């Protein structure tokens, strides 16, 4: 039986949120260098992709991990319970400390395929996918979701349904699918969600997600709600890649991170990444210091790693 990672984390623990197109094997290594969270998650991987001959290579590339990732949770999504079984069975040998089921993604393609937040409207299917996952692996199985589909008060029935399965951990992004990320996270519901967790499944670790900027902000929330076990930070990392530490990054440190990201990009040569999407990351590193805007504008004109290196070499 592998160790249950959820029982071996500090309280509160901090997690880098899974973010498609962002938290890949390269970016996670950059964040590990800046200051790692207690736990990483992969971007989500589709179970039906893994279960198909055509999609498996792509799924396995998404699930690649680096030594600095550990401990790391594999996040998966889909709607076919048999494919959840097949994928979870394989994950144990791929170096993961747990499996997380995405029942919260609001992307219209994902929802049209019946996955992510669409699970909120098909709770019986969600339970079937969870049970299949659980029966197919010795790894702890957790769930990440939203409050509901349209109305925040849906959390009462939806989260109760999930907690009755006694997942190892439950991450609640404090918004509904319809709210996307357009309204402030519903921090006012944290006390009620704690009560629900305590009543139905006290052993489930409760993780709060939404608008948390950095470690200091997470500790502030924890002081108000000490029964929350962990906090997950997503977009905060765009403002400050050192958000899991107490450091304010210097210009030199940020440029060092960009250089590392470029090196990793070159070294790993993932089939699914092209140079253009890499440009989205420039703003994370070349930001918040005098002259950053001008350097960034030049970087955005580049078409290759050597060109980008030329611009930052003397900084
Ligand atoms: C670019 C992007 C990609 C995302 N991809 C995923 C994903 O693959 N799996 C997931 O569970 N959530 C995903 N999310 C949602 C985040 O994990 C998180 O729940 C959300 O951003 C709210 O947290 P924040 O306010 O700290 O950013 C994504 C969010 C963003 C901005």
| Residue pair 229/13 in contact by the 8 Å Cβ criterion | yes
**pLDDT tens column, 97-142:** 999 999 999 999 999 999 999 999 999 999 999 999 999 999 999 9
At 259, is the pLDDT very low, low, confident or very high (cuts 50, 70, 90)?
Answer: very high
**Ligand 1 atom with the shortest distance to the CA of 144:** 11
* 151, two tokens: 């109305």
**pLDDT tens column, 160-219:** 999 999 999 999 999 999 999 999 999 999 999 999 999 999 999 999 999 999 999 999
Q: Residue length, the chain? A: 315
Which listed residue (88, 105, 129, 243) is catalytic?
105
Query: Whose CA is closest to atom 13 on ligand 1?
Result: 19
Average pLDDT over residues 294-301: 96
**Ligand 1 atom with the shortest distance to the CA of 209:** 23
Of 119, 190, 129, 188, nearest to 158 (Cα)? 119
Token pair 């530490």 in the structure block, residue? 245
Q: Say if residue 224's pLDDT is above 70.
A: yes
Of 120, 202, 193, nearest to 158 (Cα)? 120
DSSP, collapsed to helix, strand or coil, labels residue 170 as strand
pLDDT of residue 1: 64
Q: Say if residue 271's pLDDT is above 80.
A: no
Cα–Cα dist 268/264, whole Å = 6
Q: Say if residue 268's pLDDT is above 90.
A: no
Average pLDDT over residues 7-17: 98
Phi, psi for 260 (deg, rounded to 5):
-60, -45
| pTM attached to this predicted model | 0.97
Question: Roughly how many angstroms between the first and final C-alpha of the chain, as a whole number?
Answer: 50
Give exposure, 24-62, as e/b (b: 16+ Cβ within 10 Å). Answer: bbbbbbbbbbbbbbbbbbbbbbbbbbbbeeeeeebbebb
């Amino acid at each position: 039986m592998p160790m249950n990672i959820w029982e071996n984390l500090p309280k509160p623990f901090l997690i880098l949120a899974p973010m498609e197109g962002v938290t890949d094997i390269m970016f996670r290594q950059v964040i590990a260098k800046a200051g790692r969270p207690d736990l990483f998650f992969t971007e989500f991987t589709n179970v039906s992709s893994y279960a198909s001959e055509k999609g498996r290579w792509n799924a396995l590339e998404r699930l690649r991990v680096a030594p600095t990732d550990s401990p790391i949770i594999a996040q998966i999504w889909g709607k076919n319970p048999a494919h959840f079984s097949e994928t979870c069975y394989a994950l144990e040998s791929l170096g993961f400390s747990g499996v997380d089921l995405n029942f919260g993604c609001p992307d219209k393609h994902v929802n049209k395929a019946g996955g992510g937040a669409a699970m909120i409207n098909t709770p019986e299917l969600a339970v079937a996918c969870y049970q299949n996952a659980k029966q197919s692996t010795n790894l702890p199985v957790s769930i990440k979701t939203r409050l509901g589909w349209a109305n925040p008060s849906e959390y009462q029935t939806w989260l109760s349904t999930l907690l009755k399965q006694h997942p190892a951990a439950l991450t609640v992004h404090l918004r509904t699918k319809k709210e996307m990320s357009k309204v402030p996270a519903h921090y006012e519901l944290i006390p009620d969600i704690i009560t629900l967790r305590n009543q139905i499944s006290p052993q489930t670790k409760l993780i709060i997600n939404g608008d948390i900027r950095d470690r200091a902000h997470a500790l502030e929330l924890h002081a108000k709600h000490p029964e929350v076990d962990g906090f997950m930070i997503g977009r905060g990392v765009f403002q400050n890649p050192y958000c899991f530490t107490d450091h304010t990054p210097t210009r030199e440190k940020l440029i060092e991170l960009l250089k590392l990201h470029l090196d990793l990009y070159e070294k790993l040569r993932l089939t699914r990444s092209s140079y253009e999407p890499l440009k989205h990351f420039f703003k994370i590193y070349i930001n918040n210091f005098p002259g950053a805007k001008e350097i960034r504008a030049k970087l955005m004109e580049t078409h290759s790693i050597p060109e980008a290196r030329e611009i930052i070499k003397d900084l």
